[in-house]
Chains A and B, each alone.
Chain A
Amino acid sequence: MIQNDIAISVRDVQKSFKLFYDRGYSLKEALLFSKRRRYERHQVLKGISFDVKRGEAVALIGHNGCGKSTMLKLLTRIMYPDSGTVTMNGRVSSLIELGAGFHPDMSGRENIYTNAAIFGLSRKEIDNRIQKIIDFSEIEEFIDNPVRTYSSGMYMRLAFSVAINVDADILLIDEILAVGDVTFQRKCFNRLKEIKAKGTTIVIVSHSLSMIEQICDRSIWIHEGVIKEEGRPKQVHMDYCDYMIQKQQDKDTSASAKAAGADKPTETPKPAEAPKPAETPKPQPDNKKRWGNHNAEITSVTVSDEKNEVRRVFRTGSDIVIHFDYTRSGQVPDAVFGIGIFNRDGVQCYGTNTRIDDIPAFSLKENASVRVLLKNVSLLPGEYLVDIAIESGDGIPVDYYREACSFEMASSVNDVGISRIEHQWTI
């Protein structure tokens, strides 16, 4: 029997697909050409088990084709496993395909009813929610126009509003927070946090690791149909990124890596194809705060004031110097240096790199040091962590050093926020 505090229970789930060489869909073909219906069985999930507690937010990560989306489809019961069981306790809403069942000729309002009904809401329940849905979608004035007259952004906003206002016990999300403009995305994101705070169980499939880190309590890394690792998102993501870098290293890919070291490290490019044995020797740091191909390595990092006096605490508005040394052991063409400053909540306060700053790419010296002068740092009091990165021009991390150093800001002014903004009152 399943315990009451378990919302989702997945037990030894296996799933395979038949890949037909020449799939026939007619009775005629089935009768006449039965030999042609040859297929290859492709095992996508090879025995996956996990539980999700009520109110927990879990992310499924992994490279393309690892089976995470299939897993999500099994959770929604769009598909069924070959063996094993999936048990869901509570009403399930999915943000997998938005706007399914919208009818272009019907008005936004009518479509809300249709679409919400697909999530299993009764008329009364929809009546209670309709104002909330319309408000959230921000298309009040067009709500009685046919949906075909909507822009695609409005369409998605409406669809998202319905799905997220279902008040499900379990919410399944597949890479969707790319709805609408930045403001609306932010709103969706906040709403998601609210929903989570209310105790809704959430399962997310996403490549946006930074988003996962902000919402999820746990990450499950699915690799080739099995769970490779699960645990705290940051930890799992670092291992995942490491693995991805390993895989990519020898490949002379022009993968659209996220350029700067200043970017969140977790935004590593999507994987390439076949896994490759990890033959490259890799200095194993004692924790998972560093990754890269280690053709060059950051050796020491210091934080000081503009007079090069090492300090830890700075006054808001003062200058800060970050200084680091590196040694190079392999080839690092077109190097880029980057820094990122994060607060204790993991929010990136600032990040930049030499490419963003239009400094032409350069070759690394054998041994050298780098100095970054940050002028008038107006960050508000608190502790800040600095990530430092060396990247090679095609976006391959050479040495990404997470939380390389930290400093504290102090101020006698009691203003709030992340950073001070110079301002003037006119009253």
Chain B
Amino acid sequence: MTVFRELINYRQMIVSLVKKDLRGRYKGSVLGFLWTFINPLLQLAVYSIVFSTIMRVVDTDKYYLFLFVALIPWIFFSSSVSGGAGSILANKDMVTKIYFPREVLPIAYVTSCFVNMLFCFIVIFAVLIISGTGINPVALLYLPVVMITEYVLALGITMITSSVTVFFRDLEHILGIVMMAWMYLTPIMYTPDMVPEQFRTLFELNPMCSIIVAYRDILYYKQTPDMTSVLCSAAIGIIMLAAGFIIFGRLKKRFAESL
């Protein structure tokens, strides 16, 4: 419990780390903050060319949009988990030299990825309107719930990866592979009903599956998402977060010596 009270006291540190990360990331580069959008847009371009003109997996109207509304949330998740794994290592100087609740670091990292995603959502909404797809305001009410669910899940996993990475540095690289596999096992470029029936249950155990489906329901199909499965993911997310805090709390005591 003391951890949470302390984290509240250190909220300003989280805020300023997030700001520092967002501003520091692109400061001094020619395109500046536009990089926030360029990176996902390039990914989007590549994937939509490959999957809508070459491989033509999904037969749907505006495949780029179908992909876009799922890709942005996925990028948030994967960059949180794989990038956040190194968040303690990257702040070695601070960890070995001053005290603050170490949980601040992964929280700040995931939050800054989250804010990045929110910026990208501006582009998503712009594209939705320009392309004529439009927005369903009622369905949109579910969006914050889905986002928070994803945030909790990402934070829980990042807490674990960031603390374990201190002791096993190659975990960062292993995570790169894991996240790639995870991406292809999540219905980002295809729809879940393309998965063979016999694997369907197994497939849906993936908490990211229902989250991505919900994003797509809200934004692309403009319908209210299936909240039961989202709440299942939320439950998994909360369990991960609890596990994250426990594991992190155990390991953090040895951070300074191991860095």
Q: A residues touching B (Cβ–Cβ < 8 Å)?
A: 17, 25-28, 30, 73, 76-80, 92, 94, 96-97, 100-101, 103, 105-106, 113-114, 116-123, 126
Evaluate contact between B93 and A103: CB separation under 8 angstroms. Answer: no
Q: B residues touching A (Cβ–Cβ < 8 Å)?
A: 6, 9-13, 15-17, 19-20, 23-24, 27-28, 91, 93-100, 167-171, 174, 253-254, 256-258
Instruction: Tell me whether A77 and B99 are in contact in the complex, defined as CB-CB below 8 angstroms, given that A28-B170, A118-B13 are known contacts.
Output: yes
Of A28, A73, A97, A105, the contact of B93 (CB 8 Å cutoff): A97
Q: Complex formed: what's the CA distance from A16 to B9 in Å?
A: 31
Q: Complex formed: what's the CA distance from A98 to B171 in Å?
A: 31
- Chain A residue numbers with a CB within 8 Å of B258 are 25
28 contacts between A and B (CB under 8 A): A25-B167, A25-B168, A25-B258, A26-B168, A27-B170, A27-B174, A28-B170, A73-B256, A77-B99, A78-B95, A78-B97, A79-B253, A80-B254, A94-B99, A100-B94, A100-B98, A106-B23, A114-B19, A114-B20, A116-B12, A117-B10, A117-B16, A118-B13, A118-B100, A120-B6, A120-B10, A121-B12, A122-B11
Q: How many residue pairs at the A-B interface have CB separations less than 8 Å?
A: 85
Q: Complex formed: what's the CA distance from A25 to B258 in Å?
A: 9
Main secondary structure on chain B at its contact with chain A? helix
Q: Complex formed: what's the CA distance from A25 to B28 in Å?
A: 34
Q: Complex formed: what's the CA distance from A126 to B15 in Å?
A: 13
Q: Complex formed: what's the CA distance from A113 to B256 in Å?
A: 24
Evaluate contact between A105 and B28: CB separation under 8 angstroms. Answer: yes
A23 to chain B: closest residue by CB? B258
Q: Which 3 residue pairs across A and B have the least CB separation, nearest first?
A: A97-B97, A26-B170, A117-B13
Q: Complex formed: what's the CA distance from A96 to B15 in Å?
A: 24
Evaluate contact between A118 and B98: CB separation under 8 angstroms. Answer: yes
- Chain A residue numbers with a CB within 8 Å of B19 are 114
- Chain B residue numbers with a CB within 8 Å of A123 are 12, 15
- Chain A residue numbers with a CB within 8 Å of B100 are 118-120
Evaluate contact between B12 and A117: CB separation under 8 angstroms. Answer: yes
Evaluate contact between B98 and A120: CB separation under 8 angstroms. Answer: no
- Chain B residue numbers with a CB within 8 Å of A92 are 99
Q: Complex formed: what's the CA distance from A79 to B16 in Å?
A: 24
- Chain B residue numbers with a CB within 8 Å of A28 are 170
Evaluate contact between A78 and B99: CB separation under 8 angstroms. Answer: yes
Evaluate contact between A25 and B169: CB separation under 8 angstroms. Answer: yes
Instruction: Tell me whether A103 and B94 are in contact in the complex, defined as CB-CB below 8 angstroms, given that A27-B170, A120-B10 are known contacts.
Output: no
Of A100, A103, A117, the contact of B24 (CB 8 Å cutoff): A103
- Chain B residue numbers with a CB within 8 Å of A114 are 16-17, 19-20
Evaluate contact between B97 and A113: CB separation under 8 angstroms. Answer: no
B96 to chain A: closest residue by CB? A78
Instruction: Tell me whether A106 and B20 are in contact in the complex, defined as CB-CB below 8 angstroms, given that A78-B98, A94-B98 are known contacts.
Output: yes
Q: Complex formed: what's the CA distance from A209 to B241 in Å?
A: 49
What is the distance, in angstroms, from A158's C-beta to the closest C-beta of chain B? 16
What is the distance, in angstroms, from B176's C-beta to the closest C-beta of chain A? 14
Q: Complex formed: what's the CA distance from A94 to B96 in Å?
A: 13
- Chain B residue numbers with a CB within 8 Å of A103 are 20, 24
The interface centre, meaning the residue of B6, B96, B98, B257 with most chain A CB atoms within 10 A of its CB, is B98
Evaluate contact between A76 and B24: CB separation under 8 angstroms. Answer: no
What is the distance, in angstroms, from B134's C-beta to the closest C-beta of chain A? 39
What is the distance, in angstroms, from B208's C-beta to the closest C-beta of chain A? 24
What is the distance, in angstroms, from B22's C-beta to the closest C-beta of chain A? 12
- Chain B residue numbers with a CB within 8 Å of A119 are 100
Of A94, A96, A120, the contact of B13 (CB 8 Å cutoff): A120
Of A26, A79, A113, the contact of B169 (CB 8 Å cutoff): A26
What is the distance, in angstroms, from A70's C-beta to the closest C-beta of chain B? 10
Q: Complex formed: what's the CA distance from A120 to B9 in Å?
A: 6
- Chain B residue numbers with a CB within 8 Å of A79 are 253, 256-257
- Chain B residue numbers with a CB within 8 Å of A94 are 98-99
B166 to chain A: closest residue by CB? A25
A124 to chain B: closest residue by CB? B12
Q: Complex formed: what's the CA distance from A114 to B256 in Å?
A: 21
B104 to chain A: closest residue by CB? A118
Q: Complex formed: what's the CA distance from A383 to B229 in Å?
A: 86
Q: Complex formed: what's the CA distance from A122 to B6 in Å?
A: 12
Q: Complex formed: what's the CA distance from A17 to B169 in Å?
A: 20
What is the distance, in angstroms, from A147's C-beta to the closest C-beta of chain B? 12
Instruction: Tell me whether A27 and B94 are in contact in the complex, defined as CB-CB below 8 angstroms, given that A80-B253, A106-B24 are known contacts.
Output: no
B21 to chain A: closest residue by CB? A103
Q: Complex formed: what's the CA distance from A116 to B11 in Å?
A: 12
Q: Complex formed: what's the CA distance from A25 to B10 in Å?
A: 30
- Chain A residue numbers with a CB within 8 Å of B169 are 25-26
A96 to chain B: closest residue by CB? B97
Q: Complex formed: what's the CA distance from A121 to B171 in Å?
A: 34
